[in-house]
Structure 1
Amino acid sequence: MATTITSECINCGACEPECPNTAIYAGGVPWELNGTPGAAIAQDIYYIVPSKCTECVGFHDHEACAAVCPVDCCIPDPANLETEGVLLQRARELHPETTFPDDAPSRFRKEGGAAGG
């Protein structure tokens, strides 16, 4: 599942530079993927583009945005449930210059993490 930012966001911006996929944007700012623009998903708060979010699979054993959020509003999005395998494949597609092994860092591998696949 992609991570989402809830309406409790205080617009501090701490999350944006932490994202290894540049999936986080300020409210009202259009997003971009491979040169193709997309309309802002939220107008008043930071938001995460689901098609660019890997929940930091491949990079960290935690979601970096959630780790720095002072109000804990970066949460797994129940509307975008995805497996570790799907997220790892997305990381490979977003970063073709990087090799991600099948056992790349993932929150799914942490004790108590969700089952991957």
Structure 2
Amino acid sequence: MKVETTEDTCVAAGQCVLSAPNVFMQRDDDGKVELLKENPPEAEHSLVREAADLCPSASIHIQE
């Protein structure tokens, strides 16, 4: 799995951080997404998929 984010469309809802805190974080200054792991371990794949599904701005993109 490869994960990409689009910071320009991120609305700083924080759902990604709540779903997969080992993969995503929010910047302190504006709350936008920061990707911690572009290739997360398999154990976190379901959490990353959940984060992508919950993202209100569709700013998380997954390549299987």
TM-score tier after normalising by the smaller chain length: 0.5 to 0.7
Question: Which is bigger in relative contact order (C-alpha 8 A, separation at least 6)?
Answer: 2
Unaligned runs of 5+ in 1: 29-42, 78-113
Rounded to whole Å, the distance in 2 between the matches of 1:74 and 1:9 is 9
Rounded to whole Å, the distance in 2 between the matches of 1:14 and 1:61 is 11
Q: Is the partner of 1:67 in helix, strand or coil?
A: helix
What TM-score, normalized to structure 2? 0.66
Rounded to whole Å, the distance in 1 between the matches of 2:56 and 2:35 is 17
Are 1:27 and 2:27 matched, yes or no? yes
Q: Is the partner of 1:17 in helix, strand or coil?
A: helix
Rounded to whole Å, the distance in 2 between the matches of 1:76 and 1:47 is 15
Percentage of pairs with the same residue = 15
Q: Specify the structure having the higher radius of gyration (Cα).
A: 1
What TM-score, normalized to structure 1? 0.41
Cα shift readout 1:16-64 (whole Å, capped 9, x = no counterpart): 0101x62211114xxxxxxxxxxxxxx641111126x52x732428612
**Residue in 1 aligned with 2:57?**
71
Query: Which structure carries more helix by proportion?
Result: 2
Q: Do the aligned partners of residues 58 and 75 (structure 1) sit closer, same or farther apart at CA in structure 2, a change above 3 Å counting?
A: same
AA of the residue aligned to 2:37:
P
Rounded to whole Å, the distance in 2 between the matches of 1:61 and 1:9 is 18
